[in-house]
A = this chain, B = another copy of it.
Amino acid sequence: MSKKVPLPLKQKTILEKGDTLYQPGISVDCTIFSFHDNVLKVLLLKVKQVDKWALPGGFIFKKETIETAAYRVLQERTGVANIFLQQFNAFGEPNRSDSSIHLTRYLEYGIKVPKDNWLLQRFITIGFYALIDFTEVNLEDEDSNEGAEWIDINKLSNLIMDHENIILKALEVLRTQLAYLPIGRNLLQKKFTMPELQKLYETILDQKLDRRNFQRKMIGFGILNKLNETRKGGAHKAPFLYTFNDKKYQKALKEGLYGSW
């Protein structure tokens, strides 16, 4: 006889009272990017019961804003708080919802989800994304995250529903922003070299860039401070370190890298 796993209170509440607690048919999903070891990664949760990966997501309380729900859901499921989340797209293909995930998850607890349960309806999800500093997130504490891991965006596989598509759309938005907004302050260490900055751009764009052209453009934007320090230890000539000029970085975030009209 197999041992029955007890149903956690949170899962019980969602199943039995979700329709009275949450907005029906709508969810939020968060795509959290970071850059580490020259790889762009995204924060995913392992859904053990179906052995697939999922974006941290959840529902919107009846009296909660969409934004508040996104922050809450992200913190509840991964322990990540105090980051700037940005709404970028609503995903609503009529067949995007996959009831088999809910059925399988609850079956672990010996529960058969009724066909008319609110969880099994069509859900439209509102996508948020963020760029965060890898070192500011502690995923070690297993109690505060549901098996969250950083996954290389070039090695995405076995995601639930349309979550891979959501990540690719977030990446597309990120690439567009590279064309006119500064980037990197949350993704790089405080001090970085020009090759490190270039690598970040190359990784997001998924293409090689010309070194001299990149350097000339970046310096032209006027958002960098060149330090009188070098990064030692490499095989090449020690490259100079830079920081972002906070004031000019902020200005460029508002007006664009090429200045206002």
Interface residues of A (CB under 8 A from B): 23-26, 60, 62-67, 87, 89-90, 92-94, 122, 124, 126, 176, 178-180, 201, 205, 207, 209, 214, 217, 255-258, 260-261
Contacts and interface: CB of A to CB of B under 8 A. Distances in A.
Contacts of A126: 90, 92, 124
Contacts of A94: 62-65
A69 B135 CA distance: 43
Contact of A261 (B23, B26, B209, B260): B209
Contacts of A90: 66, 87, 90, 126
Nearest to A69: B92
12 contacts: A23-B25, A23-B124, A26-B26, A60-B92, A62-B122, A67-B92, A87-B89, A90-B126, A179-B258, A180-B180, A201-B261, A217-B261
Contact of A205 (B24, B65, B257, B261): B261
A178 B260 CA distance: 9
A65 B87 contact: no
The 5 A-B pairs with the shortest beta carbon distances in the complex, nearest first, are A180-B180, A179-B256, A66-B92, A24-B24, A63-B94
Contact of A124 (B26, B178, B207): B26
Given A179-B255, A180-B256, A257-B258, 12 more contacts: A60-B124, A65-B92, A66-B90, A66-B124, A87-B89, A90-B126, A179-B180, A179-B258, A179-B261, A201-B261, A205-B261, A207-B261
A61 B16 CA distance: 26
Nearest to A66: B92
Contact of A25 (B24, B89, B261): B24
Residue of A126, A214, A217, A261 ringed by the most chain B CB atoms within 10 A: A261
A261 B65 CA distance: 37
